[in-house]
């Protein structure tokens, strides 16, 4: 059995995240990543207020480096 997958590395602000994407036998896309490398950043402002009242700036992700590789897994 052969399974196609996509491996990708994303770097942003000096933090690297490796991702692996594939489809399970039912056709659902699965992503596995080491997202725990991403820093936890608290929301700015008064945390006692409702989140819906906060004006959160639109942060645009800039991927400075991205590698994509297509591979096949033989099972």
Residue 2 a catalytic site member: no
Q: What is the pLDDT of residues 8-20, one digit of tens each?
A: 999 988 999 999 9
CA distance 29 to 49: 36
The answer to whether residues 52 and 43 touch, using CB atoms and an 8 Å cutoff, is no
* 13-72: pLDDT as tens digits: 899 999 999 999 999 999 999 988 888 888 886 555 555 544 545 443 333 334 455 555
Q: How far apart are CA 2 and CA 74, in angstroms?
A: 5
Cβ burial, residue 17 (10 Å; 0-12/13-18/19+):
middle
Q: Is the pTM of this model over 0.85?
A: no
HSE-up (13 A, CA, CB side) for residue 70:
2
The residue that leads in pLDDT, 54 or 4, is 4
The ranges assigned to domains in the chain are: 1-37
């Amino acid at each position: 059995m052969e399974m196609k997958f996509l491996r990708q590395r994303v770097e942003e602000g000096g933090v690297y995240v490796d991702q692996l994407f594939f489809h399970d036998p039912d056709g659902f896309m699965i992503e596995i990543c080491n997202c725990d490398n991403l820093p936890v950043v608290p929301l700015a402002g008064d945390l006692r207020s409702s989140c819906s009242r906060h004006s959160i700036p639109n942060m645009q992700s800039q991927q400075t480096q991205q590698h994509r590789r297509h591979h096949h897994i033989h099972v």
